[in-house]
Amino acid sequence: MERFALNFLAQWRLRPDRKPLVIRGARQVGKTELVRIFARQAFDSIVEINFDENPEKASLFDEPDVRTILRLIEADSSEKFIPGKTLLFLDEIQSASAVLAKLRYFYEKIPELHVIAAGSLLDFSLGAPEYSVPVGRIEFMYLGPMSFEEFLLARGQEQLREYLSTYQISQNLPEALHAKARAYLREYFLVGGLPGVVKAFIESDLDMKAAARAQSSLLLTYYADFSKYKRKVDVPMLQAVFKNIPATIGKTAKYSSLNHLARSIQVRESLDLLEKARLVFRVFHSDGNGIPLGAEIHPSSFKLIFLDIGLLASFLGLNATDFPREKDMTLVNSGAMAEQFIGQHLLYRNEFYNEPSLFYWNRRSKGSTAEVDYLIQAGNRVVPVEVKAGKTGRLRSLQVFIQEKNASLGLRFNDDLPSYLESTTSIAGKKPQPFKLLSLPLYLVEQAERLLQPGSETVL
């Protein structure tokens, strides 16, 4: 299955200032398969060491000299390292912290050798007090689930994906293509973007039950990992918090809603561990007065995004009958699925070397209910983003943000055809303020950045 990250890896391979690359991401997002595909495309051979499956191979790295280490790996693997033609892949490297620390020497002593490392629970090793991150000697890449457009490619819809990637807001989007894109979006809502689930779905001749079985198997894998998160972890507490997260999607999270029987500090610790495993992400409140958005966050005020929309659907017990083809498919669960879908994609909207982050806004005053689903940066502007379940819905919160922040542009995702309009705010007691609103169907989320830029055939 094609992943857009392959383009990033191809560029990394050719860069003269290349450093050992460490891929970070949750278990089962496709890190290992991505590297193997890349190796087949760009190298003559790959030497792969998985420290989870073969922990004894960490002893190959005990030598202080990195060239001696390479000779030992050659003897063990029966492969000869040829810089530029051989890829060294160190998988599940979090199980060998000493190897992590030695990545710097590959950069310093053998910079011509291509080295990639990956790990599902890597953030725990990176944050460990006994481990010193070789700053300036390695670089990171962040990988999430397959996006909707990657899902289209896996489903053999190259032409539809190409059309979406070049669509301009000034064009008429035919109802037939709109309906087709919505049908595939419906599939994605249930299957999600975890490669193993997508593969099971496609290879079973599009059997949703096969996808559900694969999702159930992955969830058991995540539960099995819980005992690895910390030496003394309260596994039942972690499981309880994990199971309650799906019910909070689309809402401002409270520790009590994640486990009302536990103390807030216990819930926070569990949430920290789940976030380190990249199974969940916190979307922090930002005041949104300017960029960078992360400069004005309030850590105590946050919403949650789950790892993958397909797993969220599985948790919520949704199936194909919950998304009738002829009706608005996002009405299930009060729009939480739509908000998860958009948030999941906005989270990974930046370059692969940028750590995923996302923000939202609510009016921090007594009696206020105004809340904007997400805030993003487009050029030098802060853009409020509203996600609507279905084709209609008020935009009061977005207008409140525009009025208070003197913003000029808003972005709405819904189930309708694309549109662009110039309007004015209508806040009681306030002078109407002009603003521009770009409205996109949910399936165009990956094109939002391009369509928000000046010169995209609007006057944004």
Q: Which of these ranges, 123-137, 295-309, 351-365, 435-449, has the smallest mean pLDDT? A: 123-137
pLDDT in tens, 35-79: 999 999 999 999 999 999 999 999 999 999 999 999 999 999 999
Token output for 4 = 């857009």
Last residue of a domain, one of 113, 142, 171: 142
Inter-residue contact 356 to 346 (CB < 8 Å)? no
Token output for 379 = 């050029």
Is this prediction's pTM over 0.75?
Answer: yes
For residues 389 and 50, what is the distance between their CA atoms, to the nearest angstrom?
A: 43
In sequence order, what are the residues at sequence separation of 6 or more whose Cβ sits closer than 8 angstroms to the Cβ of residue 227? 233, 235
Last residue of a domain, one of 111, 142, 173: 142
Token output for 452 = 């928000």
* pLDDT for the residue numbered 322: 62
For residues 74 and 50, what is the distance between their CA atoms, to the nearest angstrom?
A: 15
* pLDDT for the residue numbered 320: 67
Which whole number is the average pLDDT over 418-446?
A: 93
Inter-residue contact 170 to 124 (CB < 8 Å)? no
* pLDDT for the residue numbered 375: 97
Are 160 and 267 found together in one domain?
A: yes
Q: Which of 427, 281, 272, 298 is nearest to 362 (CA)?
A: 298
* pLDDT for the residue numbered 365: 72
Which whole number is the average pLDDT over 273-279?
A: 93
* pLDDT for the residue numbered 184: 97
* pLDDT for the residue numbered 18: 95
Checking if the pLDDT of 133 tops 70, the result is: no
Are 102 and 169 found together in one domain?
A: no
Band of residue 460 on the pLDDT scale cut at 50, 70, 90: low
Distance of CA 151 to the CA centre of its chain: 14
DSSP letter string, 178-245: HHHHHHHHHHHHHH-S-HHHHHHHHHTTS-HHHHHHHHHHHHHHHHHHGGGS-TT--HHHHHHHHHHG
Please state the φ and ψ torsions of residue 306, each to the nearest 5 degrees: -80, 160
Rg (CA), the chain: 23
Token output for 406 = 């003197």
Are 246 and 383 found together in one domain?
A: yes
Q: What angle do CA 422, 428, 433 make, to 5 degrees?
A: 30
Are 96 and 117 found together in one domain?
A: yes
The dihedral of CA 192, 198, 202, 208: what is its sign?
A: negative
| 460 is a domain residue | no
Are 118 and 159 found together in one domain?
A: no
| 458 is a domain residue | no
Are 126 and 193 found together in one domain?
A: no
* pLDDT for the residue numbered 98: 84
| 438 is a domain residue | yes
Which H or E run contains 305?
strand 297-306
| 457 is a domain residue | no
Please state the φ and ψ torsions of residue 54, each to the nearest 5 degrees: -135, 70
Are 157 and 136 found together in one domain?
A: no
Q: Which of 143, 125, 165 is nearest to 308 (CA)?
A: 143
* pLDDT for the residue numbered 346: 98
Are 85 and 210 found together in one domain?
A: no
Residue 201, Cβ density class (10 Å: 0-12 exposed, 13-18 middle, ≥19 buried):
buried
139-142 β-sheet, strand order: 45-50, 86-91, 114-119, 21-24, 139-142
Which H or E run contains 5?
helix 5-14
pLDDT in tens, 193-235: 999 999 999 999 999 999 999 999 999 889 888 888 777 678 8
* pLDDT for the residue numbered 416: 94
Last residue of a domain, one of 127, 142, 157: 142
CB atoms within 10 A of CB 416: 18
DSSP letter string, 126-164: HT-TT----TTT-EEEE--SPPHHHHHHHTT-HHHHHHH
* pLDDT for the residue numbered 68: 97
| 459 is a domain residue | no
For residues 199 and 210, what is the distance between their CA atoms, to the nearest angstrom?
A: 10
Are 92 and 193 found together in one domain?
A: no
Inter-residue contact 447 to 165 (CB < 8 Å)? yes
Are 135 and 153 found together in one domain?
A: no
| 169 is a domain residue | yes
Q: Write the CATH number for 132.
A: 3.40.50.300
Average pLDDT over all residues of the chain = 90
The partner residues of 375 in beta bridges, in order of sequence, read 359, 384
Are 132 and 153 found together in one domain?
A: no
Band of residue 321 on the pLDDT scale cut at 50, 70, 90: low
* pLDDT for the residue numbered 233: 77
* pLDDT for the residue numbered 334: 52
Q: What angle do CA 411, 412, 418 make, to 5 degrees?
A: 100
Token output for 30 = 């496709």
Q: Which of these ranges, 60-74, 385-399, 427-441, has the smallest mean pLDDT? A: 385-399
Band of residue 331 on the pLDDT scale cut at 50, 70, 90: very low
For residues 125 and 116, what is the distance between their CA atoms, to the nearest angstrom?
A: 17
pLDDT in tens, 144-192: 999 999 999 999 999 999 999 999 999 999 999 999 999 999 999 999 9
Residue type, 419: S
Are 186 and 322 found together in one domain?
A: yes
Band of residue 459 on the pLDDT scale cut at 50, 70, 90: very low
Q: Which of 455, 437, 456, 434 is nearest to 447 (CA)?
A: 456
Checking if the pLDDT of 330 tops 80, the result is: no
For residues 258 and 242, what is the distance between their CA atoms, to the nearest angstrom?
A: 8
Q: Which of these ranges, 68-72, 88-92, 96-100, 339-343, has the smallest mean pLDDT? A: 96-100
For residues 160 and 305, what is the distance between their CA atoms, to the nearest angstrom?
A: 28
Domain housing 13: 5-142
Q: How many domains does the chain have?
A: 2
* pLDDT for the residue numbered 118: 96
